[in-house]
């Protein structure tokens, strides 16, 4: 008797779970608005990437063409692929003190795996991941980028 | 007016008379066969195009995708592009394949589907052959397809094909029982195997509603076992792309593959058609009670639309199953049939016989 009750119980439990699954897919079927897929080239103008998407490393500049990079090379050390090269120079300040500044922040996009370690390593939050993902170029030399803009300098008060 | 969308008897008689007037009886028969063949081919081609597109779109929306969108508006001509691609592809064959059987297999599968289509009534008077054992004929013919699958799997000289084919054989042998018993429980009520007779008994209501709970159980079992017999949905072990690459049609390419693929969709159409005939009244409109305005409104819709509407509703249900449930393991598949569906079906048919004997159905 117990076995028979168990037998029918399993049948009803199975039907219940099947109906539950069908309710979920049925909901998706009658709500085509919930479709996640985007029609990419068509919606290029309105495309909005997610905040967490890692497109490429950029060095932030403010409106006065100032960045927050002190040239400490923490990102260079953190990078597992040797994607980042920090080339520094010695600059004399008006007070006559010699300080280290970045000359070129070289970023090899072709080697980057978007692992985010450089951003985590940066003590001054100078670099971030941008959402831009259209990196296709006709020559791979174009993938080696210099991130600091020409004539830019360190922001006042940022120190390592 | 010869052409009447509510009754095709006049049209078919007009064609027959017109042909007999100028041709000998034998030649008339040949021309009529040719016409029927052309009609069926057109139907199958259209069904293939529509159903494959439908399947892709339904599966896409269920999985929150968009499906084909690039070829034509909303990807409508995607299937045409696919068919053209398949036509242009090279028909390859494995080195030690059995050439004759390898080439024969897709035709057996396709022929079985076409033979079964002949017994479906599409509308009043649009019925190719109304055999007095129509429903038995359909069950017999549809199980022929598995021979093609077995041959294809065997002749391919490929382990995946062979495993797929053997699985398909085991599956059909098991589930054929359940399908037949589910059909039988409706035949108990109709008292006839003739399809036109089965439809006529549903003039005052469909068997799904008239037969109480046993009919409902029979309908569910018919759907489950029928889908298993189609090698589709959660029972697609013979193909099982994640474990057997493509199962029995791994080695097929080009149009021979298209034949297998098309036959699967035509079989789906046939199964939905049989389900519609037995449980949903074939081409009969939906009626409640006798002689009220609702019935007249329903009568206004031509029977051919009713039949195709019911079929497409059932096909949508099957697609819903396929894209919701995960595939069964082979032991689960056999357990489901022999330990659950078959005993339940036997009990159900006893119950149905009792109801029919007592005359408790409407």
- Does A13 contact B at CB distance below 8 Å? no
- pLDDT for the residue A138: 93
Q: β-strands A98-108, A84-92: how paired? A: antiparallel
Note whether A62 and A12 are same-domain residues.
no
What 3 state SS string does chain B have? CCCCCCCCHHHHHHHHHHHHHHCCHHHHHHHHHHHHHHHHHHHHHHHHHHHHHHHHHHHHHHCCCCCCCCCCHHHCCHHHHHHHHHHHCCCCCCCCCCHHHHHHHHHHHHHHHHHHHCCCEEECCEECCCCCCHHHHHHHHHCCHHHHHHHHHHHCCCHHHHHHHHHHHHHHHHHHHHHHHHHHHHHHHHCCCCHHHHHHCCCCCCHHHHCHHHHHHHHHHHHHHHHHHCCCHHHCCCCCHHHHCCHHHCCCCHHHHHHHHHHHHHHHHHHHHHHHHHHCCCCCCCCCCCCCHHHHHHHHCCHHHHHHHHHHHHHHHHHHHHCCCCCCCHHHHHHHHHHHHHHHHHHHHHHHHHHHHHCCCC
Contact B324 A24 (CB under 8 A): yes
Note whether A90 and A132 are same-domain residues.
yes
Categorise residue B359: left if φ over 0, alpha if ψ from -120 to 50, beta otherwise: left
Residue of B nearest to A34 (CA): B64
Contact A26 B320 (CB under 8 A): yes
Interface probe for A, chosen from B58, B62, B319 (most Cβ of A below 10 Å), is B62
Using a CB-CB distance cutoff of 8 angstroms, which residues of chain B are in contact with residue A35?
A: 61, 64-66
What 3 state SS string does chain A have? CHHHHHHHHHHHHHHHHHHHHHHHHHHHHHCHHHCCCCCCCCCCCCCCCCCCCCCEEEECCCCCCEECCCCCCHHHHHCCCCCEEEEEEEEECCCCCEEEEEEEEEEEHHHCCCCCHHHHHCCCCCEEEECCCCCCCCCHHHHEEECCCCCCEECCCCCC
Q: Could you tell me if residue A87 is inside a domain?
A: yes
Contact A25 B344 (CB under 8 A): no
Quote the tokens at residue A126: 């100078």
Q: Could you tell me if residue A135 is inside a domain?
A: yes
Indicate the number of domains in chain A.
2
Q: Could you tell me if residue A70 is inside a domain?
A: yes
Contact B69 A39 (CB under 8 A): yes
- pLDDT for the residue B362: 64
Range of the domain at A145: 56-154
pLDDT in tens, chain B (362 residues): 566 777 777 777 788 788 888 878 888 888 888 888 898 889 888 888 888 898 888 888 888 888 888 888 888 888 888 888 888 888 888 788 788 888 888 888 888 888 888 888 887 777 788 888 888 898 888 888 888 888 888 888 888 888 888 888 888 888 888 888 888 888 888 888 888 888 888 877 777 777 778 888 889 899 888 888 888 878 887 777 777 777 788 888 888 888 888 888 888 999 999 998 888 887 877 777 666 777 777 777 788 888 888 999 999 998 898 888 888 888 888 888 888 888 889 998 888 888 888 877 66
Q: Could you tell me if residue A51 is inside a domain?
A: no
Average pLDDT, chain A: 86
Contact call for residues B287 and B245 (beta carbons, < 8 A) = no
Note whether A147 and A90 are same-domain residues.
yes
Contact B64 A36 (CB under 8 A): yes
With a CB cutoff of 8 Å and minimum separation 6, the contacts of B37 are none
B166-220 residue pLDDT tens: 888 888 888 888 888 888 888 888 888 888 888 888 877 777 777 778 888 889 8
Note whether A69 and A26 are same-domain residues.
no
Work out the burial of residue B254: count CB atoms within 10 Å of its CB; fewer than 13 is exposed, 13-18 middle, 19 or more buried: middle
Q: Could you tell me if residue A9 is inside a domain?
A: yes
- Does A11 contact B at CB distance below 8 Å? yes
Contact A35 B61 (CB under 8 A): yes
Note whether A29 and A63 are same-domain residues.
no
B118-137 residue pLDDT tens: 888 887 777 788 888 888 89
CATH number at residue A62: 3.30.70.3270
Q: Could you tell me if residue A46 is inside a domain?
A: no
Q: What value, to the nearest 5°, has the Cα angle with vertex B316 and ends B142 and A40? A: 125
Using a CB-CB distance cutoff of 8 angstroms, which residues of chain A are in contact with residue B58?
A: 29
Residue of B nearest to A10 (CA): B340
Contact B58 A29 (CB under 8 A): yes
Note whether A30 and A78 are same-domain residues.
no
A20 pLDDT band (50/70/90 cuts)? Answer: very high
- Does B358 contact A at CB distance below 8 Å? no
Q: Could you tell me if residue A159 is inside a domain?
A: no
Note whether A103 and A61 are same-domain residues.
yes
Nearest Cα of chain B lies from the Cα of A138 at a distance, in angstroms, of 26
How far apart are alpha carbons B343 and A43 in whole angstroms?
56
Q: β-strands A144-146, B121-123: how paired? A: unpaired
- pLDDT for the residue B264: 87
How far apart are alpha carbons B180 and B77 in whole angstroms?
38
Note whether A63 and A137 are same-domain residues.
yes
Note whether A63 and A14 are same-domain residues.
no
Contact B65 A34 (CB under 8 A): no
- Does A49 contact B at CB distance below 8 Å? no
pLDDT at A106 over 80: yes
How far apart are alpha carbons B280 and B206 in whole angstroms?
5
A126-139 residue pLDDT tens: 889 988 888 889 99
Note whether A74 and A106 are same-domain residues.
yes
Q: Could you tell me if residue A138 is inside a domain?
A: yes
Contact B62 A28 (CB under 8 A): yes
CA–centroid distance for A150 within its chain: 24
> For residue B246, what are the CA distances in angstroms to A69, B162, B238?
56, 11, 8
- pLDDT for the residue A16: 92
């Amino acid at each position: 008797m117990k076995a028979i009750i168990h037998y029918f119980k399993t049948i009803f439990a199975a039907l219940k779970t099947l109906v539950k699954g069908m309710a979920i897919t049925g909901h998706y079927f009658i709500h085509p608005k919930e479709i996640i897929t985007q029609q990419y080239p068509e919606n290029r103008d309105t495309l909005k990437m997610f905040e967490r998407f890692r497109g490429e490393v950029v060095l932030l500049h403010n409106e006065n063409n100032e960045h927050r990079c002190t040239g400490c090379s923490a990102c260079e050390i953190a990078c597992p692929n040797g994607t980042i090269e920090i080339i520094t120079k010695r600059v004399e300040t008006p007070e006559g003190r010699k300080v280290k500044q970045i000359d070129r922040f070289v970023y090899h996009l072709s080697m980057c795996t978007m692992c985010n370690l450089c951003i985590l390593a940066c003590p001054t939050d100078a670099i971030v991941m941008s959402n831009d993902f259209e990196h296709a170029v006709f020559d791979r030399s174009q993938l080696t980028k210099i991130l600091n803009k020409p004539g830019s300098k360190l922001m006042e008060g940022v120190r390592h | 007016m010869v052409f009447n969308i509510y009754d095709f008897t006049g049209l078919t008689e007009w064609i027959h008379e017109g042909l007999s007037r100028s041709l000998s009886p034998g030649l008339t028969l040949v021309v009529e066969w040719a016409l029927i063949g052309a009609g069926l081919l057109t139907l199958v081609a259209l069904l293939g195009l529509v159903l494959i597109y439908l399947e892709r779109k339904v599966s896409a929306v269920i999985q929150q995708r968009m499906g084909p969108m690039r070829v034509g508006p909303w990807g409508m001509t995607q299937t045409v592009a696919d068919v053209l691609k398949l036509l242009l592809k090279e028909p390859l064959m494995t080195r030690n394949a059995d050439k004759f059987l390898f080439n024969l297999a897709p035709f057996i599968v396709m022929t079985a589907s076409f033979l079964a289509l002949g017994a479906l009534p599409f509308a009043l008077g649009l019925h190719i052959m109304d055999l007095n054992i129509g429903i038995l004929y359909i069950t017999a013919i549809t199980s022929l397809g598995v021979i093609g699958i077995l041959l294809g799997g065997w002749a391919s000289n490929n382990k995946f094909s062979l495993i797929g084919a053997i699985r398909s054989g085991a599956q059909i042998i098991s589930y054929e029982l359940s399908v037949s018993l589910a059909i039988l429980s409706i035949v108990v009520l109709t008292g006839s195997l003739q399809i036109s007779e089965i439809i006529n008994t549903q003039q005052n209501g469909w068997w799904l509603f008239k037969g109480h709970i046993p009919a409902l159980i029979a309908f569910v079992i018919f759907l489950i076992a029928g889908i298993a017999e189609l090698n589709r949905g959660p029972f697609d072990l013979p193909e099982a792309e994640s474990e057997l690459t493509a199962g029995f049609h791994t080695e097929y390419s080009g149009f021979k593959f298209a034949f297998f693929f098309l036959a699967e969709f035509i079989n789906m159409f046939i199964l939905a058609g049989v389900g519609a005939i037995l449980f949903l009244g074939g081409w009969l409109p939906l009626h409640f009670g006798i002689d009220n305005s609702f019935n007249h409104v329903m009568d206004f819709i031509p029977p051919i639309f009713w039949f195709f509407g019911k079929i497409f509703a059932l096909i949508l249900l099957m697609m819903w199953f396929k894209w919701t449930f995960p595939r069964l393991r082979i032991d689960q598949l056999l357990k489901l049939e022999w330990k659950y569906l078959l005993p339940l079906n036997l009990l159900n048919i006893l119950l149905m016989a009792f109801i029919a004997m007592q005359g408790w159905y409407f």
